[in-house]
A and B are shown apart, each in its own frame.
Chain A
Amino acid sequence: MFLQGYLPSILEGTILTLQVAVASLAVSVVLGLIGAMFKMAPSKPLVWLAELYSTLVRGVPDLVWMLLLFFGGQMLINDFCTRMGWQAPEINSFFAGVMTIGFIFGAYMTETFRGAIMAVPKGQMEAGLAYGMSPLRVFLRITFPQMVRFALPSFSNNWLVLVKSTALVSVIGLNDVMYRADTAKSITQEPFTVYAVVGLIFLAITSVSDFALKRLEKRYSLGVRETEL
Chain B
Amino acid sequence: MIDFNLIVEKLPAFLGGADGAPMMSTSDGLQLTLELLFLSLACGLLLAVPLALMRVSKNRVASSLVWLYTYVFRGTPLLVQLFIIYYGLSQFDWVRDSWAWEYLREAYACAILAFTLNTAAYTTEIIAGQIRNTHYGEIEAAKAMGMSKWLMMRRIVIPSALRRALPAYSNEVVMMMQSTSVAGLVTLADLTGVARRVFSDTYMPFEPFITVACFYLVLTFGFVWLFKLAERRWLAYLAPRKH
- A: residues with CB less than 8 A from B are 56, 58-65, 67-68, 71-72, 74-75, 160, 164-165, 167-168, 171, 178, 181, 185, 189-196, 198-199, 202-203, 206-207
A199: shortest Cβ distance to chain B, in Å?
5
In Å, the complex CA distance between A167 and B209 comes to 20
Q: Which of B89-125 contact A (CB under 8 A)?
A: 89-92
Taking the complex as formed, is B75 at the interface, i.e. its CB lies under 8 A from any CB of chain A? yes
**Do A178 and B79 form a contact, CB below 8 Å, given A72-B209, A199-B84?**
yes
Contact partners of B83 in chain A: CB under 8 A: 181, 191, 195
Would A192 and B205 count as touching, CB distance under 8 A? no
A5: shortest Cβ distance to chain B, in Å?
18
B216 to chain A: closest residue by CB: A60
A191 to chain B: closest residue by CB: B87
Range of interface residues on B (Cβ < 8 Å): 35 or more
B94: shortest Cβ distance to chain A, in Å?
12
Of B81, B91, B196, B216, which contacts A61 at CB under 8 A?
B216
Would B76 and A71 count as touching, CB distance under 8 A? no
A170: shortest Cβ distance to chain B, in Å?
9
Contact partners of B72 in chain A: CB under 8 A: 199, 203
Would A64 and B77 count as touching, CB distance under 8 A? no
Of B91, B178, B184, B216, which contacts A193 at CB under 8 A?
B91
A53: shortest Cβ distance to chain B, in Å?
13
**Do A192 and B84 form a contact, CB below 8 Å, given A64-B181, A64-B195?**
yes
In Å, the complex CA distance between A59 and B209 comes to 14
A35: shortest Cβ distance to chain B, in Å?
18
Would B206 and A202 count as touching, CB distance under 8 A? no
B217 to chain A: closest residue by CB: A59
Contact partners of B76 in chain A: CB under 8 A: 164, 199, 202-203, 206
Please name the 6 residue pairs, one residue from A and one from B, whose CB atoms are nearest each other, closest first. Answer: A192-B88, A71-B205, A167-B77, A61-B178, A68-B209, A191-B87
Would B213 and A68 count as touching, CB distance under 8 A? yes
Would A67 and B205 count as touching, CB distance under 8 A? yes
In Å, the complex CA distance between A199 and B88 comes to 12
Taking the complex as formed, is B192 at the interface, i.e. its CB lies under 8 A from any CB of chain A? yes
Taking the complex as formed, is B185 at the interface, i.e. its CB lies under 8 A from any CB of chain A? yes
**Do A168 and B91 form a contact, CB below 8 Å, given A71-B199, A202-B80?**
no
Would B205 and A167 count as touching, CB distance under 8 A? no
